[in-house]
Structure 1
């Protein structure tokens, strides 16, 4: 592996050197046309571009009666975003709740937290959540774009998407052009990154794509060193003008940071401990993911298109850590507990077939798609439950020690989830100004779970029906108004485990009403969107008011909010992309058992949900070859528990960049993340510990095309 990494970095250096040395006259070519060729530089809106996440019918964002956003590969590179989820949190209303236990990838949208409510997809294929965890993707290098659909997305992608769906669209073989690119970067804390990307035609029948990248870093705390390797390989065969078959293999190996938080002293962060990691010396956080896919795209006739995708995902995950830290009563030591060792062996096999009809209905333009989606996921969950082990350490003279567990690590549970879904979507042009969009999905889900230690088998079947109905009115070319009603479902716990540990509860159900507008401001080459919504999520687990020992599925949670976005180029060379979200998230009907008694949490805000978020990114090309960028991201305060007695403070993270275009094929950039070097809590557990964000980091990157 070390030799492979060295070879990768060497190839990147050679590619960049060849680009800068070959044909020296290239540097004299005019460069002012770089901004002129992009009508929507740095925009997360792209209203007139097709958005594959908001609909499977090829609708543009302007034609879709829902809130959709998108950021392209060039803009991702401009902002020096290397982690996939860092792109999503630049979209309106999206924030993060990362932790090693959820893969560091958990997101928040419209008042709903985690993988069970915010779906993440690869090219439209949902990755099934295993025990609240998704570990792929984690690199932006193979990405063509990142798209977000906010609000219930179950009608498109199935269970677990009441808050939003985030779709990572990858670069694939191109028959029309050859593209070669590379990057090499180095920065703070011994970070080195590099990658190469090649795609293009082999001949008239075959085309290929190869994207490889790697990263290593010493980290800004002990036990936060990382090594990551990613690959995205594909071969496309064009048997005829109308038939195309693509085979691909994507994956990554991630030896990740082993940091689970910093303990607070009396609810306050001790500045002396900001860079101390209280994990054990032999800790492990490692993920190995790979996805095999075969896609067939066949244009049968002028108005009929067939698509089929067969895929197989395999995931191996391993955690071995001391995960809980708190100060002792005397405040002289830090008590460590939750010595957890957990392994996930997961495989997901599926097939999605759909047919698209593009024609007329009663003389009106109509697009219709119908499909069948089937997948089966198996998980073997190995652990050392009931997770014993404890130790006390000196926080100011820290000795990490090693992993201790009185219980052996053995297989604990085997689960299998099989889902068959029939889905349909339709877009009807009632007039030139009015469009009606509708969708329907029926899932048949069967979940089996076996306790490998006791031999107890439990099973549950679900048959959710979800749908959406929306209309778009476009009174002019620069304005669209829409309304939307949609439904969705969420699991009550991690997807491959039965709700509440039993088989008597159903999925939670959600419904949303949304009104919005999307428009253009040609005078400043700008676009804007506004969305107002209300979501209700029912069937939460709540205690019986008469008997706190009995759990009922009667609870409800709701959120009401508004999201605003604006992107423009007011003058040539100056771009701005900004958004803000304001919401009110509440438990409407929720009883929690506390010390044997039932306590109402009605009117409380769910923990971890920020009710105010905002993001802005602006760039200025102050000279033909020079560009400066500045960004700010605000996340409001979040409740630390269901009683709302503790809070995580709000934070603002500032970023800046300076880029120099040596030639149209070679660009250097210097980026600074967390410019103010602020300490802030990404997540937290009540008032005992915070998972802190990264300090100021500096990165110098060279990007080349050749």
Structure 2
């Protein structure tokens, strides 16, 4: 089957979307389905409870239908303490974490609030295998590496659907609108058809609730930041068919870079309709506006990591752009729904659909060139002006049919799926070489040096159709075998509007991926597992020569053990892995604006993750990661070397305690420590970025329905370089950030 035969995106979308009406028209008995549709129900024949969406109305089903009351966690709802028990990210079915043969970490709302994590980067700083903030204090986007590989482009998801960030057209989700964040490590292409072999990050949105509630919060702190937020919802009618939720957030103020704002505004309404116990429809929407600047700075190695010629270091607060010319703005919107219909005790159908839009504009003077030619004192930072205007449209639909049955010998949970995405990007990039130099000892800002000249005006279209099949087989009551396979068809087209189509190009690709895994659940909560999986990622865009890229592929072997003693309140995961990644994109040595496929990278390592709510009031999150990264194929200058940007070991621990009884009841305190190992600043591994340690702290007090809290990250205000991409592109990490907040709940 060729992709060019399925180009009629509108027709295909209607066909795929229309399958939900077939499901609705099927004459399944609501009485038969009610025992499984609205609530999370333990089935005798298989331990994977409920359906893939779990209870698809999220907090509605968990709160109304007995999920929470019966002790069964809604995999899209709140996490009690820090220890989640269920997920849908790893298998697309409602599966206990202790029965999931892959390493995964779930961050719940309580942990996000305790750390006052306002960005995905801040939220994932205590997660195994995860290096966040690769480009330092960058307020534009989220940059994440899992197991040594970048997942910021193809590996960020929201509610199980990809956000797909390419070039300068990218989405960025405000964490206040999230219920939980799930970090799945290792390839996930069998179910999702995309993503780095390092893993994916799935952000789960807040959903309507069965019980009425409300929250209002205000806060502020470092760099003149101020914010306000609200979150309320509940049932709409007395019959219990309609539920709603309204979430809003706004902040404005500065950053650690002089003259650079960090303003963000979010509104996210959602509605759930449950006509009966068998059918659920949840509509999820959000609109977000961001106004900030280029704060990563792209500074030289000498002057940040090491002193420059005069023995000085460039201030973290320096605006390398221009206080009169440094802007980044983005508007984005999500509109989608999650639908589920349970036919009977065997069959259920789900459809997740979303349309996403984003438009961004950036205009700034950038460093990245080192010091000016002939500048012996190393005080004149060479710059160029960069401008980009990007517009993104993304349509996605994921259809799932799930069947649970016994064949007389084994028990099965079979998932069959058909998904489709249509991605369209219009990208206009321009530059001006050179812009005026900037003396970091006495900066003078004079505005634009001229008008940037376009060097790329492209219209990119990317379509992908995937069919997948997964079977979770209970070979015994304790031994589970997971088998999965997928076939993808992808089409990538680039229209060169700058040269009147002279550079038009494209390609069609297909790929097969599969996964096999075993997990054994002993008494006492010990569960060893082993898995083998492959990945297939079609790549968007073109090289410097105008050629489209070959798909990236990968393989992983993973083995580990999970430990969740019943009733003890903690979950420990130990995992070892070996990943091979082929056709890897790296910055083109001939031109930093383009990428090239230069080789193959191997990542072999070990990670440990502990989350605990060991007794009333005490919560813990800690992890340790070590791995080796090696360029196994490529040009002679990188062969056998360690890729830049990425530390190969890091460790962290976060503890929060609230006094549960006595005169000090409600008073809490805690903190964290984060260690990051050394990394390299050049492909030849001649220049190192040293390791560093950061400390975090917080105090809070709860009384009645009120909460006051103060959080601080990088408490000692240590100046550090998070990483370097080259010896002329290094990035300062976050300075000390202190936030105070006051909230009330009802």
| TM-score, with length taken from structure 1 | 0.86
Q: In the alignment, which of 325, 343, 362 is matched to residue 389 of structure 2?
A: 343
**1:151-230 equivalence runs, <5 A:** 151-174=186-209, 176-203=210-237, 204-230=240-266
Q: In the alignment, which of 430, 447, 453 is matched to residue 384 of structure 1?
A: 430
> Are residues 1:414 and 2:452 paired?
no
| 1:652–1:153 CA distance, 2 compared to 1 (3 A) | same
| 1:417–1:569 CA distance, 2 compared to 1 (3 A) | closer
Q: In the alignment, which of 615, 630, 633 is matched to residue 671 of structure 2?
A: 630
Q: Give the drift of 1:115.
A: 2.5
Q: In the alignment, which of 647, 657, 661 is matched to residue 698 of structure 2?
A: 657
- Runs of 4+ in structure 1 off by over 6 angstroms are 36-41, 99-102, 551-554
Which residue of structure 1 lines up, in the alignment, with residue 718 of structure 2? 678
| Preserved CA contact (<8 Å) 1:290 1:315 | yes
Q: Give the drift of 1:327.
A: 2.7
Secondary structure in 2 matching 1:56: coil
Which residue of structure 2 lines up, in the alignment, with residue 268 of structure 1? 306
Q: Give the drift of 1:239.
A: 2.2
| 1:685–1:539 CA distance, 2 compared to 1 (3 A) | closer
Secondary structure in 1 matching 2:521: strand
| Preserved CA contact (<8 Å) 1:682 1:693 | yes
Secondary structure in 1 matching 2:98: coil
CA deviation profile, 1:413-465 (whole Å, cap 9, x unmatched): 11100111111221011101100112212111001101112112101011011
Secondary structure in 2 matching 1:464: strand
| 1:229–1:552 CA distance, 2 compared to 1 (3 A) | closer
Secondary structure in 2 matching 1:62: helix
Which residue of structure 2 lines up, in the alignment, with residue 440 of structure 1? 485
CA distance in 2, matches of 1:254, 1:459: 33
Q: Give the drift of 1:111.
A: 1.6
| Preserved CA contact (<8 Å) 1:192 1:217 | yes
| 1:321–1:227 CA distance, 2 compared to 1 (3 A) | same
Q: In the alignment, which of 140, 147, 161 is matched to residue 110 of structure 1?
A: 147
**1:427-506 equivalence runs, <5 A:** 427-454=472-499, 455-456=501-502, 457-491=504-538, 495-498=539-542, 501-503=545-547, 505-506=549-550
Secondary structure in 2 matching 1:498: coil
| 1:392–1:619 CA distance, 2 compared to 1 (3 A) | same
CA distance in 2, matches of 1:647, 1:247: 49
| 1:317–1:99 CA distance, 2 compared to 1 (3 A) | farther
Q: Give the drift of 1:499.
A: 5.4
CA distance in 1, matches of 2:319, 2:243: 47
Unaligned runs of 5+ in 2: 1-70, 587-594
Which residue of structure 2 lines up, in the alignment, with residue 28 of structure 1? none
Secondary structure in 2 matching 1:239: strand
Which residue of structure 2 lines up, in the alignment, with residue 31 of structure 1? none
Q: In the alignment, which of 557, 562, 565 is matched to residue 601 of structure 2?
A: 557
**1:200-599 equivalence runs, <5 A:** 200-203=234-237, 204-261=240-297, 262-265=299-302, 268-269=306-307, 270-271=312-313, 273-280=315-322, 281-324=324-367, 326-328=370-372, 329-331=375-377, 333-385=379-431, 387-409=432-454, 412-454=457-499, 455-456=501-502, 457-491=504-538, 495-498=539-542, 501-503=545-547, 505-521=549-565, 525-540=569-584, 555-569=599-613, 572-591=616-635, 599=636
| 1:564–1:410 CA distance, 2 compared to 1 (3 A) | closer
Which residue of structure 2 lines up, in the alignment, with residue 700 of structure 1? 740
Which residue of structure 2 lines up, in the alignment, with residue 639 of structure 1? 680
Q: Give the drift of 1:41.
A: 6.7
| 1:42–1:147 CA distance, 2 compared to 1 (3 A) | same
Q: Give the drift of 1:541.
A: 7.4
CA deviation profile, 1:6-65 (whole Å, cap 9, x unmatched): xxxxxxxxxxxxxxxxxxxxxxxxxxxxxx99999753x53xx22111111211111111
Which shifted more, 434-443 or 403-412? 403-412
Q: Give the drift of 1:91.
A: 1.1
**Number of residues of Structure 1 aligned to a counterpart in Structure 2:** 646
Which shifted more, 424-433 or 240-249? 240-249
Q: Give the drift of 1:303.
A: 1.8
CA deviation profile, 1:458-485 (whole Å, cap 9, x unmatched): 0101101111110111121411010000
Q: In the alignment, which of 609, 618, 621 is matched to residue 658 of structure 2?
A: 621
| Preserved CA contact (<8 Å) 1:98 1:104 | no
| 1:407–1:37 CA distance, 2 compared to 1 (3 A) | closer
Q: Give the drift of 1:107.
A: 0.5
Which residue of structure 1 lines up, in the alignment, with residue 37 of structure 2? none
| 1:132–1:563 CA distance, 2 compared to 1 (3 A) | farther
CA RMSD of aligned residues (A): 2.6
| Preserved CA contact (<8 Å) 1:489 1:509 | yes
Secondary structure in 1 matching 2:112: helix
Secondary structure in 2 matching 1:273: coil
Secondary structure in 2 matching 1:676: coil
Which residue of structure 1 lines up, in the alignment, with residue 121 of structure 2? 85
CA deviation profile, 1:379-435 (whole Å, cap 9, x unmatched): 1111225x4232123222211221234544587111100111111221011101100
CA distance in 1, matches of 2:612, 2:639: 42
| Preserved CA contact (<8 Å) 2:486 2:512 | yes
CA distance in 2, matches of 1:610, 1:552: 23
CA deviation profile, 1:86-142 (whole Å, cap 9, x unmatched): 2223211101223799942111111212434x60111100112222653321x2211
| Preserved CA contact (<8 Å) 2:464 2:489 | yes
CA deviation profile, 1:615-667 (whole Å, cap 9, x unmatched): 2111233442211111112221111121111222222221100010122x211
Q: Give the drift of 1:223.
A: 2.5
| 1:575–1:206 CA distance, 2 compared to 1 (3 A) | closer
Secondary structure in 2 matching 1:529: strand
CA distance in 2, matches of 1:128, 1:685: 22
| Preserved CA contact (<8 Å) 2:306 2:313 | no
| Preserved CA contact (<8 Å) 2:644 2:724 | no
Secondary structure in 1 matching 2:171: coil
| TM-score, with length taken from structure 2 | 0.82
Which shifted more, 344-353 or 80-89? 80-89
